[in-house]
Every structure is written in structure tokens, then in C-alpha cells.
Amino acid sequence: MPESLVSFIQVLRTRDVRISPAETLDATNVLAVLGWSDRARLRDGLGMALAKTPEEEAIFNQCFDQFFARQLADFSDSSENEPAIEEEDSSAGDDPTGVDSDSSRAELPSPLEQAAAADPALQAVVDSPLVQALMNNDSNTLSLAMSKAGERAGLQNIQMFTQKGQFTRRILEAMGEEQLRSAVIELEKANSPAQAQLQRYRDILRQQVRDYVEAQYLLHAEGKTRQFMEEVLSKTRLSNIEHSYLHRVHELVRKMARKLAARHSRKRREYRRGHLDMPRTMRRGVVNDGLMFDVYWRRTRREKPQILAICDVSGSVAAYAKFLLLFLYSLQDVLPRVRSFAFSSHLGEVSDLFEQHPVEKAIELVNWKYGGATDYGTALGDFASLALDDINSNTTVIILGDARNNRGDPRLDILQSIYQRSRQVIWLNPESRIAWGTGDSEMLRYQSACHFAAECNNLKQLERIIDQLLKSTR
């Protein structure tokens, strides 16, 4: 399997294109069938094997162009049986891998050649493939040498922009730039006219390598940096995430929600028809001489699960409420009926806002409408008068709040009656477990009337809890 293809697939994976080993094999087969000769066709073909949605295809096309822009020379080398390179932009028809010696150079010997003729050490430098390639403007040989040196230096592992200088130096070394440099210094000492020419070649080389490293950095590091960011963001306390990262978090929440939705939507459908009701089928068959013409299905009763989310949107918890709601409403395909309530001092139903506005907008409106100082007692009272009658054994109640009641009456009795009527009561508290019950926190008392209470302050925890929720609401 060609190594460049494997590392190309690595790059795609860092950019969220999911590629299984089986698809990697497909891509190899595609390559074997189509060959390297027609670039556009290869791009189409590999795209069909690797990218499976229009979005993935867009990413694929972009990466393909970036990745194979330079590497085409490398490929021709690895397939030894096909020495001919049919690169689109190869200007001259000559064989670019073979470094032809003197033919292409003009009859007039340049100052460099004159100097080289006089000095055997310099002649050796000039005769090296690297300098020859530079002199003949042979970009194929050069980029081939460059990508090989890059591979040896481990350039595909580049992660930070600070590493660029380091990799540039390593590649230059591997390509034999040192010789060139010392030759330039020698010539400078001798004050030779050939110095300028050699100096220029060296500058070209450096520039080329720098460009190459830059391109590779963009290709490899960008995806990795993003993965790293997402990893970090999902573990950071939600209230600590800086405003500038919020849009990333929103994306991340959507991604998580999609994942959960995919995992849980499938199972819901299985139960629709139910199982064969054998006794009944046989009983009905008796009249037909025991032949079971009519079959009966034991239908599973379609339960209508309902979720009531109660969110504290006072200053201290607002950030968390936002993400819980974002999560719940991103899951609307899977979670059948979500009703949401928001409170600080008094409570109100906000489901309508989510129906009328996009999720982000609705959340802002909720914050604006219900923000203030917390009073759990009143809020629970309001909730009871609004929705207590709707709670039955299929209802899951999620409460998000820090349970800090400013020393008011906690009205535990209301929570208890919710607890008794509902299928489950889940309390999510953004404070860490150690802080529960300290100061004016009523968490320990409230906890007694919950089926499940959990600490929830970053996306990872939130995702885990919602996953459980989805499992249990069916």
C-alpha cells in the first residue's frame, strides 16, 4: 500500500472524515485500477471511496489539492515499474528523475563553473544532485528530495507553528544544505565572483523548504489543533469558557448531540411491531383445522415519554443552563417531547420560545426574561401549579441548578410529590460534590427527593448524563 495514501488518509481523519480500514483498502484498489496518470480522475475515484457525504467530499477535495500538490513527484518514484511521470504541469518532456549532467547547461561556462573547474572541492559540491537540480531548475527532483527529507524528519507529526523553524532546519540538513553553505563561505573568503550565484541557489533552496514546511504545517497541524481544542473544551468548566470560544462549543454540542441521536434513534424503531402472539394465533387457527392463517402481533404499547427540564437561569448557573437546553433541543429528533421551564425568582414555561426561535436566540431570550436572584421555593411552587398535573410515570424531570436558595424555604414537599409521580427526577448540579450542602446550599435535602443527582459542569459530563437519559426514557 502506498505510504502517501496512508498518510493522506491520516490527514482526512484528523479533519473528521471517518474512514474505516475497509475504506482504506477500497482506496488502494481504486488507486490500482485508475493509476496515478490522471489526477482529476484519481481525485474523483478516491473521493467516491473515502468521502461519503457532500460535506466530507468538500473536505476531501480541499485536502487532496493541498496534500498532492507537491507530492506527485514522490509517487512516481515509489511505483518502480512505471518510470514515466505524467505530471500535468511538468514543463519539459525530459526524464526529471535522471539528473542529466552537462547537456542542458549552456556553452558559456558561468563564473561558478569556472571557479569549480579550478577547485576540486567546489566541483564536488557543484556536482552533487542537489546543486545540479537547483542549477537546472529541476523542480521534480527537488520536491522529491524535499518530501523524502521531510518524511525522515517526521514532518507529518508537526503540531505547533513554533516547530516550523526546527523542521525547516532538519530538512535542509537532510538535503545536504550544509555543504552548500560551507562552499558559499569559502567562496566569500576568496572573494570569488561565483559566490553570488551559489548564494542565490542557496536562497532558493531555503525558500522552497520553508514553503514546503508551511504547507505541510497547514495540512497536518490544523486538524490536530482542532481535535486538541475540542478535547480541552469538552473538559473545561462551562462557566469558564471564554466568550470567543462559544461558537466552537456550540458546534461541539451539536456534534455530540448528533452522535447521541444516531446511537439512540435506531433502537426506538425496533419495538414498533412487537412480537408474534403465538397463543392467540393458535387459538384463532383452530377453526381452520389448525392452520394458522391469521397471525397476531403482540403490540407494545407506545409510551409517550416526556421530558420536563427546569433550569435555573440566575447568574451563577445561567451558563450551564444554556448548554443543557442547547443539548436537549439539538436532540429533538430523538427526544420526543421536551418542555422547558426557566426560573430564578419566579418560574415560567419557555417551550414556546424554543418553538418560535432558533435555539441560540431562544436561550438569550430566556436569560433576559427570567434572570435574577434565585428562589427555589417560589419556583417550585410555580412549577407545581403549571405542570404538576401533567407529570405521570412516563415523565422525566431534569432540574439544573446549584440549589443555593438564599436561606429561603426550600419547599421540599413539592419536589417530593414530583418525585412520587414521575418516572425519574434527575438533578444536575454544576457545583462539585464537596460543596453540596455547604452554606446556603440545600442540595443534600433536595437530593433525598431525586432518583439521581449528578455533578455536571463540563460537556463530557453533560454528554454522559444525556446518554443515560436517552437510554432510560425509552
Partner 1 sequence: MHTQDFPQLTSVQVIKDGFESFGYICSDKIATAVYLAFKLRKPVLVEGPPGVGKTELAKTMAQLLDTPLIRLQCYEGLDEAKALYEWKYGKQLLYTQVLKEKLGDLLHGAQGLAESVQRLHQFGDIFYSEEFLEPRPLLKAMQQERGAILLIDEVDKSDYEFESLLLEILSDYQVSIPEIGTIKARSAPMVFLTSNNTREISDALKRRCLHLYIPFPTVELEERIVRSRVPDVDERLRHQLVEFVHSLRQLDLKKVPAISETIDWARSLLLLHTDKLDEELVRMTLNVLLKFEDDIEATDGEIVQLVRQATES
CA distance 377 to 399: 14
User: Does residue 16 belong to the site contacting partner 1 (CB under 8 A)?
Assistant: no
User: Does residue 290 belong to the site contacting partner 1 (CB under 8 A)?
Assistant: no
Residues within window 40-59 making contact with partner 1, judged by CB under 8 A:
40-41, 44-45, 47-49, 51-54, 57
Stretch that binds partner 1, among 33-41, 107-115, 139-147, 191-199 (CB under 8 A): 33-41
Minimum distance between the CB of residue 49 and partner 1, rounded to whole angstroms? Answer: 6
Minimum distance between the CB of residue 18 and partner 1, rounded to whole angstroms? Answer: 7
Minimum distance between the CB of residue 254 and partner 1, rounded to whole angstroms? Answer: 14
Q: 303 with 337: CB under 8 angstroms?
A: no
Q: Which of 23, 94, 186, 467 binds partner 1 (CB under 8 A)?
A: 23
Cα–Cα distances in angstroms (integers) from residue 441 to residues 400, 432, 438, in the given order: 14, 12, 6
User: Does residue 84 belong to the site contacting partner 1 (CB under 8 A)?
Assistant: no
Longest dimension (CA), the chain: 116
Cα–Cα distances in angstroms (integers) from residue 406 to residues 27, 245, 344, 345, in the given order: 63, 32, 11, 11
- What the block records as the C-alpha cell of 469 is 437519559
Total residues interacting with partner 1, rule: CB under 8 A: 26
Stretch that binds partner 1, among 39-47, 311-319, 423-431, 436-444 (CB under 8 A): 39-47
Does residue 211 sit in helix, strand or coil? helix
Q: Cα dihedral angle (152, 156, 159, 165), rounded to 10 degrees?
A: 40
User: Does residue 5 belong to the site contacting partner 1 (CB under 8 A)?
Assistant: no
The amino acid at residue 245 is Y
Angle of CA points 423, 428, 431, to nearest 5°? 160
Q: 307 with 335: CB under 8 angstroms?
A: yes
Minimum distance between the CB of residue 234 and partner 1, rounded to whole angstroms? Answer: 22
Q: Which is nearer to partner 1, 45 or 150 (CB)?
A: 45
User: Does residue 18 belong to the site contacting partner 1 (CB under 8 A)?
Assistant: yes
Query: How many helices (H) and strands (E) are present in the chain, helices listed first?
Result: 20, 8
Residues within window 245-284 making contact with partner 1, judged by CB under 8 A:
262, 266, 269-270
Q: Which residues bind partner 1 (CB under 8 A)?
A: 18, 20, 22-23, 26, 29-30, 33-34, 40-41, 44-45, 47-49, 51-54, 57, 262, 266, 269-270, 291
